[in-house]
Structure 1
Amino acid sequence: MSRIYSLTQKALKSLFYLAGLTMLSNTAHGFEHQHTEFTSVLQKVVVVSEDGKQTRVNYAKLNEQPEVLNAYLDSLSAVTEQQYQTWTEGQQLSFLMNAYNGFTLKLIVDNYDDFSSGKAESIRDLVSIFKSPWKKKFFSLLGKKRHLDDIEHSMIRVWFSYPRIHTALVCAAVSCPPLRNEAFVEDKVIAQLDDQMKLFLSDDTRNTVNLKKTKVVLSPVFKWYSDDFEKGYQGFNKIEDLIQAYRLDIANDQQEVEFLKTQKFTVDYFDYDWRLNDISTF
């Protein structure tokens, strides 16, 4: 009887050992590409405007309960470069865009006392003597210590030819494109980028068509990254091509459609509102 009990103990130990190896293997080699945890965070703290064209973030709520965001970001940091290289383009792009937006949220939460006390009103107020907030290395990604500019300028803009990403990366300012209340995911990422571009261009407070002055007034985002929209990617060789391609689908009337088709308009740019994209600014 004691021998049977001993064998049973050994069998159970073996099972637990194998289960542990499986968990370690999943942690080391697996990744949840639907980014479920991040979507859970976004759905709780991202607030959509009544017209559906803008969003703000409830940073107070996120500051009170940052655990899920931190756990998600830890899972991103655990991914190795070798692992990343085995993924599809959609998986890679979604991973990096979610990383940018997620770590931006963390940057604000890590400095939330400055915002709640009024010491800071903008992400730009987090600048130190030596570094801008976008140059501060405060997280690890693909095995290296990184800052936000690494993700945007040294990774996404270099590794991918999707100018639409500039309406998906959100730097926590009021004039930024709307932060989606869902994560970017591999099987929907192209449709999500299209939706972001149309949503951003449809917001007349950020991008508008002035028929009387034969002028289109755009977000400075399109000026800052004009080079990305003039390289022939997606058929865009100039900003007017972008406007024609996306604004036509959301034009207010036939007169605007005909006006945009001619491309005989000047392009001007709004000022940028750098205030924190907190719900208090709605």
Structure 2
Amino acid sequence: MFKTPLKALLFGSVLVATSFATSFSAQAQNMHDSWNALLNKHVVTINHNHSTEVDYAAIKREHAQLKTYLDSLTAVTQSEFDAWEKPKQLAFLINAYNAWTVELIVSNLTSKEYPDLKSIKDLGSFFSSPWSKEFVPLLGKTRSLDEIEHDLIRGSGKYNDPRIHFAVNCASIGCPALREEAYTATDLESQLQEQTVRFLSDMTRNMAQENTLSVSSIFKWYGDDFEKGFRGANTLQQFFLQYPDALKLIPAQQKALRNDDMKVKFLDYNWDLNVRH
């Protein structure tokens, strides 16, 4: 006489367990939803989709939503992070860098000061840059933006993907676009590829003319990252040759680049704020 109640009890337990697992999975998948909503709403595409502008004033009006998202990032423990797959870790770190950069801008804005903030570099001092400020509570300690980028992402040795330079955003016009959506583990590969093509194909920052390839200073500052074997690229030239269409390289230029006969020139960087007025 106990068979039916026992079956019902077991079935109910399965439902509860399944519901919990689904809820946990959804929570993990939706971690960046609120950040995604802010980006969708306040990041505007310009320059034929090569660049974006950010309505920092509008984000400041929704500062509570941004802070709630940042708090959710802070709540992630090192052990939780370590248990994730690499794409989820990298998406988390890129989103954290970008969101805390936006926080640095909006937390220093007032209606009076807003027009006077011309560059994120204005938020530094003579002795330190804004990227060296330790104001980011992440993975159990207070960190700087530099630490997120150079230690957790680049210096960890885990990811070895130079395309991250087209995903992290320094709130400047010279920087690759702040993407209009959050990075996710599921879409990370396609997002990084799109960001790379988006940046390389911008002829205001990367252009081939006759026997000279003029490129962003990003490739000067972080040249070593593009020479660590990503998809077989052991030189900067080999990395560029993975994207001939984006750079609009004709066959003769591709050959010259392959033979190291093409001059690579680094352009000046525009540190003006990527602000939507």
TM > 0.5 between the two?
A: yes
Correspondences of 1:1-282 after superposition (within 5 Å): 31-32=28-29, 35-49=32-46, 51-113=48-110, 115-118=113-116, 120-159=117-156, 160-211=159-210, 214-246=211-243, 248-250=244-246, 252=248, 256-263=250-257, 264-280=261-277
In 1, Cα distance between equivalents of 2:134 and 2:234:
34
In 2, Cα distance between equivalents of 1:112 and 1:257:
49
Code of the aligned partner of 1:249: D
Q: What's the offset of the Cα at 1:117?
A: 4.6
- In the alignment, structure 1 segments of 5+ residues that lack a partner are 1-21
Partners of 2:208 and 2:247 within 8 A in 1? no
CA deviations 1:48-83 (Å, max 9, x no partner) are 015111111011111111122111111000000011
TM-score, reference length from structure 2: 0.85
Code of the aligned partner of 1:89: K
Code of the aligned partner of 1:77: T
In 1, Cα distance between equivalents of 2:28 and 2:145:
22
**SS of alignment partner, residue 104 of structure 2:** helix
What residue in structure 2 maps to residue 18 of structure 1?
none
Aligned sequence identity (%)? 41
Structure with bigger helix share is 1
Q: What's the offset of the Cα at 1:31?
A: 3.2
**RMSD over equivalenced CA pairs, Å:** 2.2
TM-score, reference length from structure 1: 0.83
Kindly report structure 1 stretches of 4+ aligned residues shifted beyond 3 Å.
30-34
In 1, Cα distance between equivalents of 2:138 and 2:33:
19
- In the alignment, structure 2 segments of 5+ residues that lack a partner are 1-19
**SS of alignment partner, residue 180 of structure 1:** coil
Q: What's the offset of the Cα at 1:164?
A: 0.7
